[in-house]
């Protein structure tokens, strides 16, 4: 029973993947269709030659004594069946016809067919011009007995039927059939490409894709959403403080509840937030997680650990660098930064009473970053910050690209791994998780970010307010 159920799930999974890939590559079908119609146009204008056929049916009689007429006719018929192809291939008849119509080489082909055991046969002429085909046939009828006389003796052709000048070619192109054939070919090729893409796709679409490989729990699924700023431009890194959907807000509050529960159980204080690749949304997750934690009344510190490419202040919509009045002068963490010579670039911002932000105004030189991220510096820095905050969240660079995340992980209490749906190859994610685990930093879970309802059947409702959520009224009470 379990095996049957598993097969059904796999079938639904691949069908859903097929549908998802169909949405992503619809333009490919249009391209293939246009390409097919383009090939059809080239075929018609450059490679198509109309062929016109005229024919005539004859009976063959031989000359000679009447008492031997039956025998002579039989012999003539046998000779005709055997020699007529030779007459055509020898070129004698073609040469006479060319001289007769005054065209060389012959602009057409001459064929003949004989009805078995009869003295009836048909001559056909094929040419790209209907009048030329008719002219050649007339010349063949007039000159054939002269050529045949030297091979099988005197023969008489009695015409039974002769076609008129054809008005349509025998190889006439049906535009409807060609378009239908091109469309079916495009569909076939498109399905073939889609099947290959689905078969070769190894990105993560949902929790099921990692269940067999890791024992880490998926803590939340963050739906893809947008928010509009005053400039009426869509921003792809929204905050729960912006005008976003309730599902997006609930997803982060659900994530926050689960993370804080686990951190309290293990007495963890410092959480590292990282991912495998860039553009997976880890900074957005870290920022919203810190905002959700601060809304619950916890003193929270959010650190932009990507000193080489800082973006946290931009994600939090700081139009300007925090002013000097936002700098905590009594905080000993600032003294640590001053000792490293980075106090001019790294500032503390206070957007709320419960949230402090440690961000960089501009990228820091690699040498200075290496000095700041040495083991003693990180340990000392976090040691100074722990007594002043309930929770500390560190947004680090992707762990597969920089060693900064690995260095932070050695002195963090736990880590949260961010996976963007249908973005990173599963094998790369597993490698990054292995690198992170080797530091000894426990990974308390992962979150699938920017989920789409249509992707392989996975929905944000699984971890939003559809299954585990609290509803609008409960959310208001949480806030």
**DSSP secondary structure letters along 358-421:** EEESSPPPHHHHHHHTSHHHHHHHHHHHGGG-SEEEEE---TTT-SHHHHHHTT-SEEEEEEET
pTM: 0.60
pLDDT less than 70: residues of the chain: 1-13, 60-90, 116-119, 151-157, 226-237, 242, 317-351, 361, 364-377, 453-479
Q: Residue 406 corresponds to which tokens in the numbers above?
A: 């690995």
pLDDT of residue 93: 79
pLDDT of residue 323: 39
Q: Is 278:404 a contact under the CB 8 Å cutoff?
A: no
Report the relative pairing of strands 52-62 and 120-127 from DSSP bridges.
antiparallel
Q: Write phi, then psi, for 277 (nearest 5 degrees).
A: -125, 170
pLDDT of residue 226: 66
Rounded to the nearest 10 degrees, what angle do helices 2-24 and 26-42 cross at? 60
Residue 424 CB-half CA count within 13 A: 25
The domains found in the chain, sorted by start residue, are 2-46+173-200 (no CATH), 52-162 (3.30.70.1130), 207-478 (3.40.50.300)
pLDDT of residue 49: 86
H or E element, residue 54: strand 52-62
Q: Residue 338 corresponds to which tokens in the numbers above?
A: 């001053």
pLDDT of residue 325: 38
- Strand order, beta sheet including 109-114: 109-114, 120-127, 52-62, 155-162
Residue 297 φ/ψ region, left for φ over 0, alpha for ψ in the -120 to 50 degree band, beta for the rest: left
For 10-27, what is each residue's pLDDT tens digit? 566 677 777 777 887 889
User: How many other C-beta atoms are found inside a 10 Å radius of the C-beta of residue 118?
Assistant: 10
User: How many other C-beta atoms are found inside a 10 Å radius of the C-beta of residue 370?
Assistant: 15
How many whole angstroms separate alpha carbon 328 and alpha carbon 326? 6
| Torsion 372-364-391-324 (CA) sign | positive
How many whole angstroms separate alpha carbon 301 and alpha carbon 355? 6
How many whole angstroms separate alpha carbon 22 and alpha carbon 401? 31
């Amino acid at each position: 029973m379990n095996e049957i159920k598993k097969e059904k799930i796999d079938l639904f999974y691949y069908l859903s993947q097929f549908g998802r890939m169909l949405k992503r590559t619809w333009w490919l079908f249009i391209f293939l269709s246009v390409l097919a119609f383009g090939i059809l146009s080239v075929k018609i204008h450059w490679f198509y030659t109309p062929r016109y056929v005229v024919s005539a049916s004859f009976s063959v009689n031989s000359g000679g004594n009447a008492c031997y007429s039956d025998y002579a006719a039989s012999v003539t018929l046998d000779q005709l069946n055997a020699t007529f192809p030779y007459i055509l291939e020898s070129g004698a008849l073609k040469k006479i016809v060319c001289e007769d119509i005054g065209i060389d080489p012959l602009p057409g082909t001459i064929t003949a067919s004989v009805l078995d055991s009869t003295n009836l046969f048909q001559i056909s002429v094929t040419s790209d011009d209907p009048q030329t085909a008719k002219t050649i046939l007339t010349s063949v009828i007039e000159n054939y007995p002269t050529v045949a006389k030297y091979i099988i003796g005197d023969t008489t052709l009695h015409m039974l039927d002769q076609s008129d000048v054809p008005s349509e070619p025998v190889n006439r192109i049906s535009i409807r059939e060609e378009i239908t054939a091109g469309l079916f070919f495009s569909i076939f090729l498109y399905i073939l490409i889609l099947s290959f893409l689905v078969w070769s796709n190894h990105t993560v679409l949902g929790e099921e894709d990692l269940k067999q490989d890791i024992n880490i729990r998926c803590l939340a699924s963050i739906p893809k959403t947008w928010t509009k700023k005053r400039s009426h431009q869509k921003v792809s890194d929204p905050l729960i403080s912006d005008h976003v959907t309730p599902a997006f807000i609930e997803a982060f509050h659900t994530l926050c509840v689960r993370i804080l529960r686990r951190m309290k159980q293990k007495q963890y204080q410092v959480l590292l937030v990282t991912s495998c690749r860039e553009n997976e949304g880890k900074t957005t997750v870290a920022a919203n997680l810190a905002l959700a934690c601060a809304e619950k009344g916890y003193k929270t510190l959010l650190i932009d650990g990507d000193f080489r490419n800082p973006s946290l202040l931009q994600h939090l919509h700081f139009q300007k660098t925090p002013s000097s009045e936002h700098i905590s002068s009594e905080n000993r963490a600032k003294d640590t930064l001053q000792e490293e010579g980075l106090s001019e670039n790294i500032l503390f911002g206070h957007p709320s009473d419960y949230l402090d932000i440690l961000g960089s105004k501009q990228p820091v030189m690699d040498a200075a970053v290496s000095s700041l991220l040495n083991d003693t510096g990180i340990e000392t820095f976090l040691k100074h910050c722990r007594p002043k905050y309930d929770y500390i969240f560190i947004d680090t660079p992707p762990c597969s690209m920089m060693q900064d995340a690995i260095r932070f992980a050695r002195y963090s209490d736990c880590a949260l791994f961010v996976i963007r749906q249908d973005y990173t190859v599963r094998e790369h994610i597993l490698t990054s998780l292995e690198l992170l685990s080797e530091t000894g930093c426990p990974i308390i879970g992962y979150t699938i970010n920017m989920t789409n309802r249509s992707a392989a059947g996975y929905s944000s409702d699984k971890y939003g307010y559809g299954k585990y959520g609290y509803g609008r009224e409960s959310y208001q009470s949480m806030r």
